[in-house]
Amino acid sequence: MALYPSNLTLSPPKSQSMASLRGTAATARLIHSASRARLSLYSASSSLCLSSSSSYSPSSLKCLHFSPLAPHIFKDQKRSSVSTAAAASDPAQLKSAREDIKELLKSKSCHPILVRLGWHDSGTYNKNIEEWPRRGGANGSLRFDIELKHAANAGLVNALNLIKPIKDKYSGVTFADLFQLASATAIEEAGGPKIPMKYGRVDVSAPAECPEEGRLPAAGPPKPADHLREVFYRMGLNDREIVALSGAHTLGRSRPERSGWGKPETKYTKNGPGAPGGQSWTAKWLKFDNSYFKDIKERKDDDLLVLPTDAALFEDPSFKVYAEKYAEDQEAFFKDYAEAHAKLSNLGAKFDPQEGIVLDDVAGEKVTAANYSSGKD
């Protein structure tokens, strides 16, 4: 799934686990920072509550009611002097959250929208801006109403609603990490490659820190190849990575009522799974493989979607080299995709600890987001 218009839900920012602070020095830093840190949000039953830690008593909470238009989207978020700055996620909770995500995928067949959730949080990155979080990227800002309303994020509120119970259960996981964990897990559970992920992304704390609208790619620009390069080069990605990431469209559907693209339903989507309808890029749109490239190349089935930006992969001379390769060699596609996905998931992120957290024996990529190259290989 590329970063095109589709689905969406909102959840509040992560609260820091007090158990992660050890020693008097850490406690002193906590007290010192309390006067300037923003309160993190978590939801409790039918309201969104402000708290610096899940260990605080109910009397210390101030609750924000849900928006009447979107039950889990914040209308506001206030400052408080009783909070800590966002910190690294808890490794044990990350692993447990991953297992819950796997169960969610089995029950809801929501792989495509979870991939898109992670991509759209990280895909706002601008390598030409050094300051965090103004540079955008994987920082959890997509949970805020102001960013959810961006046209490219249409429908993603549904993804946030799906993972909200997991976030409520694991307060020691940041939104930024949860979005990327869900995205990578969805790829792997759909039959895709193991993604060399790392975690420990810090969340932004207020809607004012969301990026401006217009940083994500469009589906039907006048010059598709030029548009893809303009958007992805700004992120520090190159032609090979653009084509590899486009291959994630092997998952999912486009719904015309959200994006303006695709048919209301096809023979591949009329019966679901999940909510029926939309038009998919591939016949088996919950299986991650290289069929996207084969189908785009052959274009023999009118029930399969081909966006202008999809067609560009076989029309642009540089893109075509990689698209042809991936259509013939799934192993090569998986290798390049895994590397590109990991890189995308780290864009713009601020890690705590700086080296990140590795859950498995698969080390995350080591390139610093601000130093990514741009252009062709």
Higher-pLDDT residue of 332, 220: 332
Q: Is the pLDDT of residue 80 over 70?
A: no
From 120, 150, 227, 249, the catalytic residue? 120
DSSP 167: H
When pLDDT is cut at 50, 70 and 90, the band that residue 241 belongs to is very high
Looking at per-residue pLDDT, the higher value among 26 and 241 belongs to: 241
For residues 202-211, give the mean pLDDT.
Answer: 97
Closest by CA to 339, choosing from 364, 368, 370, is 364
State the pairing for strand pair 47-50/62-65. antiparallel
**pLDDT over threshold 90, residue 219:** no
Q: Which residues lie closer than 8 Å to 323 by C-beta, 6 or more apart?
A: 243, 293, 296, 297, 313, 314
Report CA 270 to chain centroid distance, whole Å.
27
**Cβ pair 204, 210 in contact under 8 A:** yes
Q: What average pLDDT does the segment 315-323 reach?
A: 98
Q: What is the pLDDT of residue 296?
A: 97
pLDDT greater than 70 at residue 308:
yes
Mean predicted confidence (pLDDT) in 1-24: 41
pLDDT band at 365 (very low <50, low <70, confident <90, very high): low
Predicted confidence band of residue 363 (pLDDT cuts 50, 70, 90): low
According to the per-residue pLDDT averaged within each range, which of 86-95, 108-117, 215-224 is highest? 108-117
Going by pLDDT thresholds of 50, 70 and 90, the confidence category of residue 295 is very high
Q: Inform me whether the pLDDT recorded for 339 exceeds 60.
A: yes
For residue 124, give the nearest of 10, 200, 217 by alpha carbon: 217
pLDDT of residue 297 exceeding 50, the answer is: yes
Contacts of 371 (CB under 8 A, 6+ apart): none
Identify whether 65 is a catalytic site residue.
no
Output the pLDDT for position 3.
Answer: 55
Which range among 10-24, 111-125, 342-356 shows the weakest confidence by mean pLDDT?
A: 10-24
pTM: 0.76
Residue 216 has pLDDT above 70, yes or no: yes
Q: What is the mean pLDDT of the chain?
A: 80
Contact 237, 344 (CB under 8 A): yes
- Please say if the pLDDT value at position 130 is more than 90: yes
Average pLDDT over residues 25-30: 40
Residues of the chain above pLDDT 70, percent: 72
46-50, 152-156, 189-193, 231-235: least confident range: 46-50
